[in-house]
Amino acid sequence: MTRTPQQNAQRHGGAIVDIRSLPQPYLLFLGDVTDPSYAKTAFGLRDWAPERCVAEYRCDGGTVTVGLPTMTVAGARAAGAKAVVIGVANVGGTIPDSWIAPLLDALEAGLDIVSGMHVKLGEIPPLAAASARLGRRLIDVRVPPRSIPIGTGRKRSGKRLLTVGTDCALGKKYTALALTRAFERRGLDVHFRATGQTGILIAGGGIPMDAVISDFEAGAAEMLSPDAAPDHWDVIEGQGSLLHPGYAAVSLGLLHGSQPDVIVGCHAPGRIEMAGTAGYPVPRIEDLLELTLRLGARTNPAIRCAGISLNTAHLADAEAERVIEQEAARLGMPVADPIRGGPAFERLVDACLA
CATH fold, domain 159-353, is: Rossmann fold (3.40.50)
The answer to whether 262 and 304 have CB atoms below 8 angstroms apart is yes
pLDDT, one tens digit per residue, over 123-140 is: 999 999 999 999 999 999
Length of the chain: 354
Q: What is the pLDDT of residue 16?
A: 29
With CA atoms as reference, report the closest residue to 145 among 90, 87, 195. Answer: 195
pLDDT at 210 over 50: yes
Tell me whether residue 267 is exposed, middle or buried, using C-beta atoms within 10 angstroms of its C-beta: 0 to 12, 13 to 18, 19 or more.
buried
Q: What is the pLDDT of residue 13?
A: 35
pLDDT, one tens digit per residue, over 81-120 is: 999 999 998 766 789 999 999 999 999 999 999 999 989 9
**Per-domain residue ranges for the chain?**
9-140, 159-353
Q: What is the pLDDT of residue 275?
A: 85
Identify the CATH class of 9-140. Answer: alpha beta
CA dist list (Å): 104 to 61, 131, 331: 19, 9, 52
Q: What is the pLDDT of residue 136?
A: 97
Percentage of the chain modeled with pLDDT above 90: 85
Tell me whether residue 33 is exposed, middle or buried, using C-beta atoms within 10 angstroms of its C-beta: 0 to 12, 13 to 18, 19 or more.
buried
d(CA 101, CA 32): 13
pLDDT at 209 over 70: yes
CB atoms under 10 Å from CB of 12, counted, come to 18
Q: What is the pLDDT of residue 93?
A: 74
pTM of the entire structure?
A: 0.89
Give me the mean pLDDT over the 193-214 stretch: 92
pLDDT, one tens digit per residue, over 20-76 is: 568 899 999 999 999 888 898 999 999 999 999 999 999 999 999 999 999 999 999
Q: What is the pLDDT of residue 90?
A: 74
pLDDT at 354 over 60: yes
Q: What is the pLDDT of residue 94?
A: 82
Give me the mean pLDDT over the 161-188 stretch: 97
- Select the more confidently predicted residue: 277 or 70: 70
Give me the mean pLDDT over the 200-211 stretch: 90
pLDDT, one tens digit per residue, over 287-313 is: 999 999 999 999 999 999 999 999 999
Alpha-helical regions (H) of 156-238 = 172-185, 197-203, 217-224
Q: List the beta strands (DSSP E) in 74-203.
A: 83-86, 112-115, 138-140, 159-165, 190-193
CB atoms under 10 Å from CB of 79, counted, come to 13
Q: What is the DSSP letter of 148?
A: P
Query: pLDDT confidence of 19, banded at 50, 70, 90?
Result: low
Report strand pairing: 112-115 vs 138-140: parallel
Q: What is the pLDDT of residue 89?
A: 83
Q: What is the pLDDT of residue 8?
A: 38
Examine domains 9-140 and 159-353 and report if their fold is the same: yes
Indicate the helix (H) or strand (E) that contains 111.
none
CA dist list (Å): 89 to 97, 131, 205, 267: 14, 22, 19, 21
